[in-house]
Amino acid sequence: MTIDITQQPGTTRSSGPVIEVRDLRVWYGTTRGAIRAVDGVSIQLALGETLGLVGESGCGKSTLGRGLMGLLPEGAKRDGEVLFQGDDILQMSTKEGHALRGSELGMIFQEPMTRLNPLMRISQHFEETIRQHEPGLSKAEARERALETLRLMGIPPTRYRCYPHEFSGGMRQRLMIALALVLRPAFVVADEPTTALDVLVEAQIVQILNDLRNSFDTALLLITHNLGIVAEACDRVAVMYAGRIVEQGTVREVFGDPRHPYTRELLRSTISLSTTGLNFIPGAPPDLVDPPAGCRFHPRCPNAMKVCADQDPIVMPAHAAGNVECWLSGPDDQVPPGGSDRLEQQEFGVADEA
């Protein structure tokens, strides 16, 4: 495929999903064997939609986010499709992928300072990005575009010629968001964009992300371990466990009526104001080189049945347009005889819980 980089962004977008992932698998080769970081994931995002991606550390969220940008580390292997407006990003040449990133795909990382050049003024960061992808714009037009985007992020024009170190952490993160958005991309991945920030600044960033869909119609994949942010800023949520999406639906449905035991445990593990205690999910996430047979969550699942240890979970429609991968949601007649007996769990050792 070819990408016309002179085309005005935002003018020819189709009405189908902006991004559609079909059975994506990503694995890293190690001396112990392949780490299956993403193991058969299918998701899609519509224009202007925000999908939250949640799950414990190490479950494959960042790998999935990078895969959606066609930005996997060297040595990572993958299988499946990532369709951006119908074209497979994973099949594009380096040049095509580069042209698409920046202009149509944007990424916001956790630590802004590692992405900003300390020797370049903010104006240079913006003008370089804009003119690289839209060489037809004059310097004045590029400047106009940059200032407009910065204004939306609450950064006044008087700061345009400052250097990155002259900004606070929260402002730098807003600069990064502005840089990712200045070309009006159709799809943005934000990987834990607020983790390094304090609570007040975090609230501002959430507000900005929230305004995004109105201002730009951008589809956003928001990776976070903060379920409060998902509740505030997302339309839908995907819950990831050990490389798979185990439950997906609207935020209201999934948080209000979670179907997967892991989702329930995750919701319980957030700080409870009434007890001021932090519940955690007993046991440790599995080794992705050699994950448990059957449902990967079965060794930690409070409701596990015998079938869960023997067979892959059944995928059932759940919520209005989502699904859940769990035998507990399946029809009884699909469970083999004796399979619905309760699975005796081993005690979780203290070492596991650390």
Ligand X SMILES: Nc1ncnc2c1ncn2[C@@H]1O[C@H](COP(=O)(O)OP(=O)(O)O)[C@@H](O)[C@H]1O
Where along the sequence are the contacts to ligand X (CB under 6 A)? 28, 35, 37, 55, 57-63, 73, 288
Between residue 246 and residue 285, which ones bind Mg ion under the rule CB under 5 A? none
| Separation of alpha carbons 7 and 10, rounded Å | 9
Q: Nearest approach, Cβ of 62 to ligand X (angstroms)? A: 3
Q: Nearest approach, Cβ of 110 to Mg ion (angstroms)? A: 8
Asked whether the beta carbons of 284 and 296 are under 8 A apart, the reply is no
Q: Say how many residues touch Mg ion, by CB under 5 A.
A: 1
Residue 28 binds which entry of ligand X, Mg ion, none, CB below 5-8 Å type-dependent: ligand X
By C-beta, is 109 or 126 nearer to ligand X? Answer: 109
Residue 35 binds which entry of Mg ion, ligand X, none, CB below 5-8 Å type-dependent: ligand X
Alpha helices in the chain (DSSP H): 61-68, 94-103, 122-133, 139-152, 169-181, 199-216, 227-233, 251-256, 261-268, 306-310, 350-353
Main-chain phi, psi angles of 245, to 5 degrees: -90, 115
Asked if 62 touches Mg ion (CB under 5 A), the answer is yes
Residue 86 burial (CB < 10 Å; 0-12/13-18/19+)?
Answer: exposed
> Beta strand 50-54 with 236-241: parallel, antiparallel or unpaired?
parallel
Asked if 224 touches Mg ion (CB under 5 A), the answer is no
Main-chain phi, psi angles of 347, to 5 degrees: -65, 140
Q: Which two tokens stand for residue 222?
A: 């928001």
Residue 348 binds which entry of ligand X, Mg ion, none, CB below 5-8 Å type-dependent: none
Asked if 63 touches Mg ion (CB under 5 A), the answer is no
By C-beta, is 43 or 150 nearer to Mg ion? Answer: 43
| Separation of alpha carbons 25 and 108, rounded Å | 23
Residue 59 binds which entry of Mg ion, ligand X, none, CB below 5-8 Å type-dependent: ligand X
Q: Which of the stretches 56-64, 86-94, 203-211, 303-311 binds Mg ion when contact is defined by CB under 5 A?
A: 56-64
Q: Nearest approach, Cβ of 267 to ligand X (angstroms)? A: 18
Q: Nearest approach, Cβ of 266 to ligand X (angstroms)? A: 13
DSSP helix/strand/coil, 152 = helix
